[in-house]
Structure 1
Amino acid sequence: MDRIDAMRAFVAVVTEGSFSNAASALQFSPQLVSKYVSKLEEQLDVRLLHRTTRKVSLTEAGTHYYQHAQQILLSIDEMDSQLGGLQQNPKGTLRISAPVSFALKHMAKLVAEFQLRYPLVNVDLQLNDRKVDIVDEGFDVAIRIGQLKTSSLIAKHIAPIRVILCASPDYLKQYGTPIKPEDLKTHRYLHYSYMEIDGKDEVFRWLRTQNTGSALRSNNGDVLVEAAIAGAGIVLQPTFIASKALQSGELIQVLPDFELDPIGLYAVYANRKSLPNKVRFFIDFMEGYYGSPPYWDNLIAK
């Protein structure tokens, strides 16, 4: 049994939702797809899929294997592309969805430099903080920030994203500087509408209690950072928005010893056996572009 073909068959079953759909996508017979997955489970000595007459679903082991298998197949496809089609110039229209604040601050230069290198690619960059449906809405790539959940999409990690609590010196002078997380309960909170409040530490527990009674709510992080600079309260925002205000002293980090774990900046795209060069070259161009740590974090002390 070809291990790579078996891995592709398994990933296709998960992505397409059934053995018959996977067979059509791979141009295999349903019997061969089923044989590949069964042999893979036999070799691994673990069940990867729950099978019923109506649907298939991942086991816990299958979920872990699926995530790793996607990355392995992606690496193989990238290697094949580099060896077989590296000299092909990418062309066509590249449709990208990206978060508003991140794109305004950090994507214009990237797109301009990408097009200088690949002038046959036209870029259609659409800004939206909601999670678009890449396939249904016709996007080639979506730039997303957060802790991504398992899906049929491929996610390429681009850079770490620090998210910190901060407030203006005037606000802290008037209301006091929190020393420990429980001190936050007496402060005004500026809430980002799309932020998913999750986590087990004391800072997250406080944020969940403030979710419905925030001093200010907005679906734009720049507005909230400007409000924090004006003294409206404490805000939780990524450093790619707040770094200049932190560097200038207009904002001060609050509870630095309790800083949350970094989240990620990802390029997300549909799982395709043959990825268009315009998409592959753009993702390769993004990888490492912002640095590690990203250049905006070099402006401020951690």
Structure 2
Amino acid sequence: MDKIVAMRAFTTVVSEGSFVKAADKLELSPQLISKYVAQLEDDLKIRLLNRTTRRVNLTEAGQAYFDRCHQVLMDIDDMENAISNLHTQVSGTLRISAPMSFGVYHLSDPIEKFQTQFPEIKVELFLTDRKVDILEEGVDIALRIGHLKDSALVAKKITPINLSVCAAPSYWDKHGRPTSFDELCQLNYLRFSYSDPRSLFIRWPKHLSVHDFRSDFASNNGDVIVKTAVLGRGYAIQPTFLTGSAIANGELEILENFPIEPLGLYALYSHREFLASKVRHFIDFLSGFYGDEPYWDNY
């Protein structure tokens, strides 16, 4: 027997004054309502109701049980409503993990606008280039850039992340603009520590290995690489959300004839079913904010 269902049947009988009316309200048969009450009495080893042909009356024990049942059921309803509100209302604390440079340059604005639209939201933003374990570290959403592999997590693509080969105009003027991968490898590559550049290009020749790249500078931070490229030290292969402003003001120029497969900005979260409203709304908001052609590509 479901004790909660039986308690609800009993309190409804008392409130409505009859088994028939209670059955109508709960959309159950009078026989089933009577069975629930009888099972309660059997479990408690005490009579709760005195039944007549016209009406039911509480016994002394029944009155005491009714008062406690009524309070318990109210507490259950309040608890379920509170949990349901967490699912349906955009409120609470939203914990977000994001890559360092992307977060510094491109998250403050959408987060501020999101919190203005949903003032009950508090945000905790963690910027790191390591892959955060969202389950272990209690993160609601992890923003990641790349081509995502199979995972137990749910991933939604937010916007494309385009990359380009670029260098300062003075560097191209001094060393020339390569027209083949062999020529490109002879120039100084400002290397991003976590990336194999061969995997970025759409048509990379098989006869060239990563060791064919000339490079006298490497960093695990894209900002440093972009600034070094602006200084004319070499060429960089970096996302346009970092290089866009330097390209727009003429500090960097793109090498157009080396196409690169776009990456993506993805939102990772743990569950598709019963997704918290704050998570769902933030992901949808980011998708709308950046769009299919993000603003940093308008150079």
Within the alignment, does 1:124 sit opposite 2:139 as a pair? no
Measure, in 2, the Cα distance between the counterparts of 1:88 and 1:204.
53
Match of 1:216 in 2: 217
Q: Could you give the per-residue CA deviations for residues 232-267 of structure 1, whole angstroms, max 9, x where no partner exists?
A: 10100001110111111110112x122111111111
In the alignment, residue 100 of structure 1 is paired with which amino acid? M
Match of 1:194 in 2: 194
Within the alignment, does 1:113 sit opposite 2:113 as a pair? yes
Structure 1 stretches of 4+ with a deviation exceeding 4 A read 84-87, 203-207
Task: Assess if the C-alpha contact under 8 Å between 1:145 and 1:264 holds in 2.
Answer: yes
Match of 2:283 in 1: 283
Alpha-carbon deviation of 1:220?
1.0
Q: Could you give the per-residue CA deviations for residues 81-131 of structure 1, whole angstroms, max 9, x where no partner exists?
A: xxx989943111111010111111111000000100111111000101111
Segments of structure 2 that go 5 or more residues without pairing to the other structure are 1-83
Measure, in 1, the Cα distance between the counterparts of 2:87 and 2:140.
21
SS at match of 1:231: coil
Segments of structure 1 that go 5 or more residues without pairing to the other structure are 1-83
Measure, in 1, the Cα distance between the counterparts of 2:265 and 2:142.
11
In the alignment, residue 216 of structure 1 is paired with which amino acid? F
CA distance change for structure 1 residues 220 and 207 in 2, over 3 Å: closer, same or farther?
farther
Match of 2:271 in 1: 271
Measure, in 1, the Cα distance between the counterparts of 2:206 and 2:294.
25
Match of 2:253 in 1: 252
Task: Assess if the C-alpha contact under 8 Å between 1:182 and 1:202 holds in 2.
Answer: no
After TM superposition, the score normalised by the length of structure 1 is 0.66
SS at match of 1:215: strand
After TM superposition, the score normalised by the length of structure 2 is 0.67
CA distance change for structure 1 residues 154 and 277 in 2, over 3 Å: closer, same or farther?
same
In the alignment, residue 209 of structure 1 is paired with which amino acid? H
Match of 2:149 in 1: 149
SS at match of 2:136: coil
Measure, in 2, the Cα distance between the counterparts of 1:147 and 1:205.
24
Measure, in 2, the Cα distance between the counterparts of 1:147 and 1:161.
10
Measure, in 2, the Cα distance between the counterparts of 1:227 and 1:236.
12
Match of 1:26 in 2: none
Task: Assess if the C-alpha contact under 8 Å between 1:94 and 1:140 holds in 2.
Answer: yes
Please give the residue correspondences for 1:41-52 in structure 2 after superposition, counting only pairs within 5 Å. Answer: none
SS at match of 2:133: coil
Task: Assess if the C-alpha contact under 8 Å between 1:188 and 1:214 holds in 2.
Answer: yes
SS at match of 2:298: helix
In the alignment, residue 224 of structure 2 is paired with which amino acid? V
Measure, in 2, the Cα distance between the counterparts of 1:277 and 1:196.
38
Measure, in 1, the Cα distance between the counterparts of 2:206 and 2:125.
33
> More displaced, 113-122 or 199-208?
199-208
Match of 2:73 in 1: none
Measure, in 2, the Cα distance between the counterparts of 1:262 and 1:218.
21
CA distance change for structure 1 residues 248 and 187 in 2, over 3 Å: closer, same or farther?
same
Please give the residue correspondences for 1:52-131 in structure 2 after superposition, counting only pairs within 5 Å. Answer: 88-131=88-131
